[in-house]
Amino acid sequence: MLNSVSSLDRTDITILRVLQAEGRISNVELSDRVHLSPPATLARVRRLEEEGYISGYAAMLNREKLGHDNLALIEIALELHQHERIAEVLDRLVAMPEVLECYHVTGEYDYMIKVSTVNNRALDHFIATRLIPLPGIARIHTSIVLKALKQTTQLDLPEP
């Protein structure tokens, strides 16, 4: 079932806006911001979680401080056309810890992955030993990110 933002009221939207910007905010502080009691606020947050509007909470780590100086966007074209084989390749691909994100895309390539490695040598090793050996890979195109101009996980929600 698809959820719709139209089924959310102003308070729900405000809760989502605050939580996506300040995921560690206490329930008491959140309840002050949305002008509800803490139990009512907590009930709304739990409902938003249960209905799938909030899919999880995570800390945003600094890649560079942790030694992951290389970020690459890799486009992959498959030569496979059997659904079972494609599913097998994709299962192996998304299980790789270097792969941060994986998208099925339109255009010349079938998939795009975002990969984090410690350096170019590690990226080369990842491509040569993990990616190329996957069965059914027809072509790979790699772009190395020189500088991230914008990185966010915050969605543009309507004004409450």
- pLDDT, tens digit (0-9, with 9 covering 90-100), for 46-101: 999 999 999 999 999 999 999 999 999 999 999 866 788 889 999 999 999 999 99
Please give the share of the chain, as a percent, with pLDDT higher than 70.
96
Residues 109 and 68 occupy one common structural domain: yes
Is residue 3 over pLDDT 70?
Answer: no
Q: How far is Cα 8 from Cα 6, in angstroms, rounded to an integer?
A: 5
Residue 141's alpha-carbon distances to 22, 48, 70, 81, in angstroms, are 36, 39, 16, 20
Cβ-Cβ contacts under 8 Å for 44 (sequence gap 6 or more): 11, 12, 15, 34, 36
Please give the share of the chain, as a percent, with pLDDT higher than 90.
84
Nearest 5°: the CA angle 128, 130, 103 is 110
Is residue 2 over pLDDT 60?
Answer: no
Domains: count for the chain: 2
> How confident is the model at residue 84, as a pLDDT?
80
Q: For residue 156, tell me if it sits in a domain.
A: no
Query: What is the span of the domain harbouring residue 16?
Result: 9-51
Residues 22 and 79 occupy one common structural domain: no
> How confident is the model at residue 1, as a pLDDT?
42
Q: How far is Cα 13 from Cα 109, in angstroms, rounded to an integer?
A: 36
Q: How far is Cα 18 from Cα 57, in angstroms, rounded to an integer?
A: 13
